[in-house]
A and B are shown apart, each in its own frame.
Chain A
C-alpha cells in the first residue's frame, strides 16, 4: 500500500536520553529568558540584534528543512517518481526544521506577545520583507503538517480520510513548493536592507537568488545525509544509486550557484576585496567557497559519487557550506560600526543545541512510530 513503513523498536534509547538532557538544559534557560528577558541569556545588542538564534535556528534551520521542498520539486514538478520513497522522510525533517524555526522566532522576538498581529490582515505591511518571511514561514509550517498527515492517517488506518487527503494533497504540495521559493529568497533580501553595513563580498542584489539556490542545495544535502545516516543508525541498506543521481544534480546546482556568486563579484569588480577586507572576512569567504567547490568536484566525478562515503562527506560539506554562507552573510560580513562585538553566549548556544536536540528526538520518535522511512523492499530494488 505505502512506500513507507514505521521502524518500530524502543523510543527511549541512550542517544535519546543524551538529547533529552540537552533539551532539558535549554528548557531551564528558556524559563530564564521568558522571566528576565533576552538580555539575560544572550549576547545580542543594538549592534547585533540578530545572532545565533536567527542565523542558526531560523536561517540554517529552515534551509535544512528544505528537504521536503526540494523533493517535492523533484518528484511532483519534474515528475521523477523514482525519488518518491525519499519524500516522506524529507517532509518530516522539514516539519521539524520549520516548526522549530517558528518557535525560535517566538523566543528571539522581544515582544513575542505581539506576534499574533502577523496573522491579522489589517495589520499586514505588504511592503515589509520581514512580514513576507514571517507570514510565509508560518503558513508553510501549517502546510508541512498537512503534507505530513498521510503518515498519521496510515498509522491509524483511516483509509477513507487518507483517500480524500491523497486527492486534495496536490494543492498543499503546490503551495508547499511556492512558499519556500518565496521566503528562502526573502531571507537573503533581509540583508540587502543592511546596505553597506554588510561587506561587499556578501552584499549584492543577487542575495535572494544565492540564498534560494543554496537552500535548495542544503535541502538535497539533508536528504542524502539523512538517508545515509539512517542506514547506519537504523541498520538499513544503503540507497547508493538513487543518492548518486541526486549527487549529480547537486553538483550542477553548486556550479550554477558559483557562476552567480563569482560572476557577480567579477561584474562588480570586487573580487580583489577577498584580500583587502580584513583577514576574518577573507578567510571566511575562502572557507565558505571551498566548502562549495570541494563537494562539487567530488560529485561531478561519476566514480566518486557512487561511493556512499563520498556521498556522505559531500553532503556534510554542502550543509556546512550553506551554513557558513549564512553565518558569513548575517554575522561575519556584517559590521554595524565600531565597538560592537558578537559571539553567542553559552546560554544562547545551549538553547540552540537544545532546540536541535528536540528536533532530533522528535525525528527519532516519529520514524519509529509512524510510516516515514522508505519500505526496504522498494529502496533496494
Chain B
C-alpha cells in the first residue's frame, strides 16, 4: 500500500479512525474550535472547520526549502497537543517536503512531478527560505535546479503560495547587509500568484495552520495587510498586547539585564525591545503551548523583531526601537504630593509640655520613694 493509498483510506472516514491517532472526537472538535478562534472566526465556524478537515478531497501541499534553517518546519512539528502533527500533515496532504518525505532522490522527485501533474492549479506551494538571485542563483540548488527555477516551475501551476518564515517573506537573516547571495523573498520572484507571507523566525505555527485552514474552509485567502501578512496574526503591534505594557506606560523600565527593574518584570524597551515596531501576535498566542510567559519578552528578553523587515537581523539587538504608537512621556505628573499633617509648633509645644510634666512627676516620685524607703529601713 502506497503512502497515498493509506492516506486515502484514512481520509474516507477520518472521524471513525481517531483511535488510530490516539485522538478523541472531542479533542478533534476542540482543535477545530481553537483554530477557528485563532483566525478570528465566530464559534459557529468551528463546525465548518471540522467538516473541512474531515473532507477527503483536500488540495495537496508542496513544500519547498531554500536558504533557511528548517526552523519553520520544526515549529510546525511542535504545533500542539500530542499526535496533532500527524493529523495536520495528513490534513494538508503534504505531497512533497524535503524534510518530511520518506522517499529520497529520484523517487521523491517523481512524487513532486506526479503531484504537480495531477493537481495542476489546485495545490498550495509553501516556500521556506529565501531565494538567492546573485550569480544566476547558483548558491542554492536542489535536483540540479536553482531555487529560482524551482519556484518558477512549481509556482506556475499553484493555486496560491505561502511564504513561511522571515526568509521567504522578506529575505530574513541572509538578506542582511551585505547580502552575499542576493537573498530575495518569494513575492519578488513569483509575482502573478496570490501569496501569503507568514514571517517570523520561526513564525507561530498557528498563524500558518490558521491560514491554511482558512483557505480550505472558505476557499479564499484571509485578509492581508500591505506586506501580504494575514491581518489576524499580524494586525497589531506586539507592544499593544504585551503583558509588560503597563510598565511602559508608567515609565518603569529595566535598565540593564539583571537589575532590579529586570527582576521585577518591568518593560524591556530600554534594553532594545522591538515590540513597539513589530507587528505580530506573539504575546497573545505565545509559543510551545506551555502556558503563560512562553515568549521572548515573557522570559525577560527583549523582542528582537524577527517578524519585521528592517528590524529583525537589521537593527542592533539593543538598539532602541521606534515606537509606532505612543512614546512614553519624559515627564510624569507627580503622584506623590506633600500633604499636611506634619509637626506644628502647637503640637510640638503640647508634646514637650506633656513629656516634661511626666518626666518631672516620675523623677519627683522616684526621689520621694527613695527617701521613704531610706526612712523605713533606718526605722527598722
Instruction: Say how far B176's CB is from chain A's closest CB, in angstroms.
Output: 48
What residues of A have a CB within 8 angstroms of the CB of B347 in the complex? 43, 343-346, 348-349
Q: A89-97, A183-191, A228-236: which lies at the B interface?
A: A228-236
Choice from B336, B338, B341, B344 contacting A48 with Cβ under 8 Å: B341
Number of interface residues of B (CB under 8 A): 25
Mark B306-325 against chain A: 1 for CB-CB distance below 8 A, else 0: 00000000000000000000
Residue with the greatest number of chain A CB neighbours at <10 A, chosen from B337, B341, B370: B341
User: Taking the complex as formed, is B349 at the interface, i.e. its CB lies under 8 A from any CB of chain A?
Assistant: yes
Per the bound structure, the CA–CA distance linking A239 and B344 in Å amounts to 43
Please judge, given known A-B contacts A316-B362, A340-B341, A343-B341, whether A232 and B368 are in contact too, CB under 8 Å. Answer: yes
Per the bound structure, the CA–CA distance linking A238 and B375 in Å amounts to 11
User: Taking the complex as formed, is B350 at the interface, i.e. its CB lies under 8 A from any CB of chain A?
Assistant: yes
Please judge, given known A-B contacts A45-B339, A237-B376, whether A308 and B369 are in contact too, CB under 8 Å. Answer: yes
Which residues of B52-101 are within 8 A (CB) of A?
none
Instruction: Say how far B353's CB is from chain A's closest CB, in angstroms.
Output: 9
B338 touches A307 (CB 8 A): no
Instruction: Say how far B362's CB is from chain A's closest CB, in angstroms.
Output: 5
User: Taking the complex as formed, is A341 at the interface, i.e. its CB lies under 8 A from any CB of chain B?
Assistant: yes
Instruction: Say how far A7's CB is from chain B's closest CB, in angstroms.
Output: 18
A231 touches B372 (CB 8 A): yes
Instruction: Say how far B8's CB is from chain A's closest CB, in angstroms.
Output: 66
Mark B353-380 against chain A: 1 for CB-CB distance below 8 A, else 0: 0100000001001101110110010000
Mark A27-44 against chain B: 1 for CB-CB distance below 8 A, else 0: 000000000000000011
User: Taking the complex as formed, is A193 at the interface, i.e. its CB lies under 8 A from any CB of chain B?
Assistant: no
Residue of B nearest to A349 (CB): B350
User: Taking the complex as formed, is B346 at the interface, i.e. its CB lies under 8 A from any CB of chain A?
Assistant: yes
User: Taking the complex as formed, is B143 at the interface, i.e. its CB lies under 8 A from any CB of chain A?
Assistant: no
Per the bound structure, the CA–CA distance linking A45 and B342 in Å amounts to 11
Instruction: Say how far B219's CB is from chain A's closest CB, in angstroms.
Output: 59
Residue with the greatest number of chain B CB neighbours at <10 A, chosen from A43, A309, A338, A339: A309
What residues of B have a CB within 8 angstroms of the CB of A340 in the complex? 339, 341
User: Taking the complex as formed, is A260 at the interface, i.e. its CB lies under 8 A from any CB of chain B?
Assistant: no
Please judge, given known A-B contacts A344-B347, A345-B344, A350-B350, whether A339 and B369 are in contact too, CB under 8 Å. Answer: no
B338 touches A309 (CB 8 A): no
What residues of B have a CB within 8 angstroms of the CB of A45 in the complex? 339-341
What residues of B have a CB within 8 angstroms of the CB of A339 in the complex? 336-339
B373 touches A313 (CB 8 A): no
Mark A316-358 against chain B: 1 for CB-CB distance below 8 A, else 0: 1000000000000000000001111111111011100100000
Per the bound structure, the CA–CA distance linking A312 and B376 in Å amounts to 16
What residues of A have a CB within 8 angstroms of the CB of B369 in the complex? 228, 231-232, 238, 308-309, 312
Per the bound structure, the CA–CA distance linking A48 and B341 in Å amounts to 9
User: Taking the complex as formed, is B16 at the interface, i.e. its CB lies under 8 A from any CB of chain A?
Assistant: no
What residues of B have a CB within 8 angstroms of the CB of A240 in the complex? 373
User: Taking the complex as formed, is B24 at the interface, i.e. its CB lies under 8 A from any CB of chain A?
Assistant: no
User: Taking the complex as formed, is A47 at the interface, i.e. its CB lies under 8 A from any CB of chain B?
Assistant: yes
Please judge, given known A-B contacts A232-B368, A316-B362, whether A47 and B373 are in contact too, CB under 8 Å. Answer: no
User: Taking the complex as formed, is B343 at the interface, i.e. its CB lies under 8 A from any CB of chain A?
Assistant: yes
Residue of B nearest to A308 (CB): B373
Residue of B nearest to A42 (CB): B341
Q: Give 11 CB contacts A-B under 8 Å.
A: A44-B341, A308-B369, A309-B369, A312-B365, A316-B362, A341-B342, A342-B341, A342-B342, A343-B342, A343-B347, A343-B348
15 extra interface residue pairs, beta carbon distance < 8 Å, beyond A343-B343, A343-B347: A43-B344, A45-B341, A231-B369, A232-B368, A232-B372, A307-B373, A308-B369, A308-B372, A340-B341, A341-B339, A341-B342, A344-B347, A346-B347, A349-B350, A349-B351
- Going nearest first, the 8 A-B pairs with the smallest beta carbon separation are A346-B346, A338-B336, A341-B342, A343-B343, A308-B373, A309-B370, A349-B350, A43-B341
